Amino acid sequence: MMGNEKLEKQLLWLMIIVLTAFFTSASVSVWASRNVAESEHEQAMGHARLEALNSLMLAFTEAETGQRGYLLTGNPAYLQPYYAAVSTANAQFMRFRDVFTGPDGLSAYNRLALLKEKKLSELAQTISLRAEHGLESAMLVVNSNTGESYMAEIREEIDLLARKEQERQVGLVKESTRNVAIFQTSVTLFLLLLALAVLSLVTLVRHDTQTKKQLLQRLSHEASHDQLTNLPNRNLYVEMLNYSIPFAQRYQRLLGIFFIDLDGFKQVNDQFGHDAGDMLLKEASRRMREAARESDVVARIGGDEFLVLATNLAKVEDIEAIARHMLACFEEPLLRHLQQVRVGASIGIAVYPRDGLRAAELIKAADIAMYEAKMQGKNGYAFHRRDEMKGGGAQRLASDQERPGA
């Protein structure tokens, strides 16, 4: 039981450790998964920001191209792409405000908004001068390089933002790769620990089931066996006898029921104590078990009384042979350290079906025969005398060698 309790504690601690690691790895998996999702979202937003910057720069360039074409040719056809580019620039600027968030994004938006207004105003001014006063008036503004300066600042601001975004994207890719690796590792560990947790639980349940099964088997064994000698007790003997009777009836075989009482056992208990008595009972049980056939049942029913069931017998002589074997068990001293102690046995025998058809009836007949054997001088055997039979009546072996203390 101590071993079982120790194993149960070990399994319980293993279960706690595994579950702790299991939930830890699960938390890491959730954290890594969330980081991967956030990183992917940030990468998508980064691509949107880069696209907005490129579109915005392209719109300014196309607007300037349309303005230059109109200034040089005076052809209104160039104004169509100009106005389209200005509209695109305004739309992309609104998109820029949506994708560049946070303090840095707001600051960049404000700087570009100011430059956009200046550049578009310069473009609109030159176009108006060309239309109203001719090329010379418009070129005066162009040659002042004010518009070129605005365009350079816009290009520089957009390039700076694009480089920062690209560097940020490189960092996000590295972080995403690391998070994916963490996620994959944690998921693998999660599944492994889940398997260990299930295995630990199954082992614990199986151990608990096995322990209960062993306990039930032990209780069942204790309920049907004598604790001192480990021989079947009276209940199991009666069960085996009831089981054997139908077979003997069907195949017309005899059963021998032996009621054995040890002669001189009380004196051993009184003189040498209960420990010596217990040792004597164990040795007597061992010898009778060895003397009996493998198919026979040897049971202790209490004190110094035993029952033996011999099955599948053809004739009474077979029963007598078994009785003689049982008596031979007691020819040598049962306790080596007490050679002077001699214990014999009185055996009463009942035969199925002659002496009864039921277990209780047969055991009672054997009990009566045992007292008859004692009356004949002990250390012998006697058949129950219901009918005359060969070998019937009280039988006594070695009556001239009655042992001291019997």
CATH number at residue 296: 3.30.70.270
Angle, to 10 degrees, between the axis of helix 102-133 and the axis of helix 146-224? 150
Last residue of a domain, one of 174, 200, 226: 200
Whether the ω angle into residue 353 lies within 30 degrees of 0, i.e. cis, is yes
Quote the tokens at residue 348. 């009463």
Angle value at C-alpha 166, between 163 and 171, nearest 5 degrees: 130
Give the pLDDT score at 187.
75
223 within a domain of the structure (yes/no): no
53 within a domain of the structure (yes/no): yes
* Number of domains composing the chain: 2
Across the beta sheet with 381-383, the strand order is 297-302, 305-313, 254-263, 344-352, 381-383
Angle, to 10 degrees, between the axis of helix 135-143 and the axis of helix 146-224? 60
Counting every residue written for the chain, the total comes to 406
Q: Sign of the C-alpha dihedral, residues 326, 330, 332, 334?
A: positive
214 within a domain of the structure (yes/no): no
Do 17 and 69 sit in the same domain of this protein? yes
Do 191 and 141 sit in the same domain of this protein? yes
Do 135 and 241 sit in the same domain of this protein? no
Give the pLDDT score at 158.
87
Last residue of a domain, one of 176, 200, 224: 200
Q: Which residue has the tokens 């295995």?
A: 199
Give the pLDDT score at 359.
95
228 within a domain of the structure (yes/no): no
389 within a domain of the structure (yes/no): yes
Q: Are 157 and 164 in contact (CB under 8 A)?
A: no
Query: Could you give the CA distance from residue 139 to residue 262 in angstroms, rounded to a whole number?
Result: 141
Owning domain of residue 75: 2-200
C-alpha distances in Å from residue 379, one per residue of 326, 329, 388: 10, 11, 23
Q: Residue 71: enclosing H or E segment and its boundaries?
A: helix 2-73
Query: Could you give the CA distance from residue 176 to residue 162 in angstroms, rounded to a whole number?
Result: 20
Report the candidate in 292, 365, 364 with the shortest Cα–Cα distance to residue 324: 292
Query: Could you give the CA distance from residue 282 to residue 323 in angstroms, rounded to a whole number?
Result: 20
Do 251 and 181 sit in the same domain of this protein? no
Query: Could you give the CA distance from residue 229 to residue 329 in angstroms, rounded to a whole number?
Result: 16
267 within a domain of the structure (yes/no): yes
Give the pLDDT score at 269.
85
CATH number at residue 68: 1.20.120.1730
For the residues of 275-333, what is the DSSP string, one character each?
A: HHHHHHHHHHHHHHHHHS-TT-EEEEEETTEEEEEEEEE-SHHHHHHHHHHHHHTTSS-
Q: Which residues of the chain have pLDDT under 50?
A: 388-406
Do 138 and 273 sit in the same domain of this protein? no
37 within a domain of the structure (yes/no): yes
Last residue of a domain, one of 154, 176, 200: 200
219 within a domain of the structure (yes/no): no
For the residues of 135-163, what is the DSSP string, one character each?
A: HHHHHHHHHTTHHHHHHHHHHHHHHHHHH
Residues 6+ apart with CB under 8 A from 246: none
Q: Are 176 and 40 in contact (CB under 8 A)?
A: yes
Do 246 and 185 sit in the same domain of this protein? no
Q: Sign of the C-alpha dihedral, residues 54, 57, 59, 61?
A: negative
Q: Are 219 and 227 in contact (CB under 8 A)?
A: no
Residues 6+ apart with CB under 8 A from 157: 108, 111, 112, 115
Longest Cα–Cα distance in the chain: 163
